[in-house]
Amino acid sequence: MNEKLKKYPSTDKFRVIDIVGVPHPYCISHRHVVYASDHFDGILGKEAIIDAEKHGIVCDICKRMNKKEGERILSYEEHEQALIVEVDDDRDLCDVEGLKDYLLSIKSMMVDDGYAGCAFKRKKKV
């Protein structure tokens, strides 16, 4: 688990287990790797990615979606992340007792950490 996520409280029914890209993860292409190699001593970090975008090297998922659907290409900074909350209850999420209270209890932390929202995953029964 990401160290940053350990601070989020857990209950017997709910726990933050991971993060997910919203609307999708930023996808690095071979062009990013080449650009970082040529201009950033091979270090493919945030700075290299943002600089590469200034030269037309963008998220590969956005690039492919843009060709097919006419969607706008999102910058690196516009790709957000959401928390994945594991739910130990098989009912419809609207019917899970305590979920709203749990989400409200972590809301300020989530906003402070810059997360766009939450996604949910059912706990696997063993």
The answer for residues whose C-beta is within 8 angstroms of residue 73's C-beta and 6 or more apart is 58, 59, 62, 63, 66
- Residue 30's region, left for phi above 0, alpha for psi from -120 to 50, else beta, is alpha
pTM of this prediction?
0.79
Report the Cα 61 to chain-centroid distance in Å.
14
Q: What angle do CA 85, 28, 49 make, to 5 degrees?
A: 100
Query: What percent of the chain has a predicted confidence (pLDDT) above 70?
Result: 95
Q: Any idea of the CA torsion for 30, 32, 38, 44, to the nearest 10 degrees?
A: -120
Burial of 26 (0-12, 13-18, 19+ CB in 10 A): buried
**2 band by pLDDT with thresholds 50, 70 and 90:** confident
Each domain of the chain, given as residue ranges in start order, spans: 3-23+79-122, 30-77
What pLDDT is recorded for position 124? 80
**Lowest-pLDDT range of 1-15, 59-73, 111-125:** 59-73
**What is the chain's alpha carbon radius of gyration, rounded to the nearest angstrom?**
18
Residue 72 confidence (pLDDT): 82
Q: How far apart are CA 46 and CA 53, in angstroms?
A: 11
